[in-house]
Amino acid sequence: MMISTAQAAELLGVSATRVRFLLSKGRVKGAYKVGRTWVIPLFDGMPV
């Protein structure tokens, strides 16, 4: 299952800005961009 930055932020209890920062630094395993939108995979119900 794939989720958005807003959904990942809610699951992790951080801001969407923080999630985007982590994504830009390559800190989220398996995440990739589709156009301008980040797509984040879930592993065991949580983003990694």
pTM: 0.84
Range of the domain at 30: 2-47
What's the confidence (pLDDT) of residue 47? 66
Residue 45, pLDDT score = 60
What separation, in Å, do the N-terminal and C-terminal C-alpha atoms of the chain show?
13
Give the torsion sign (CA, 35, 9, 28, 3): negative
Give me the number of domains the chain comprises: 1
pLDDT value at residue 43: 83
Q: What is the pLDDT of residue 20?
A: 95
The backbone region for 13, taken as left when phi is positive above 0, alpha when psi lies in -120 to 50, beta otherwise, is left
Distance, in Å, from the CA atom of 40 to the CA atom of 17, rounded to the nearest integer, reads: 14
Beta bridge partners of 3: 40
pLDDT tens string 9-46: 999 999 999 999 999 999 999 999 999 999 999 886 66
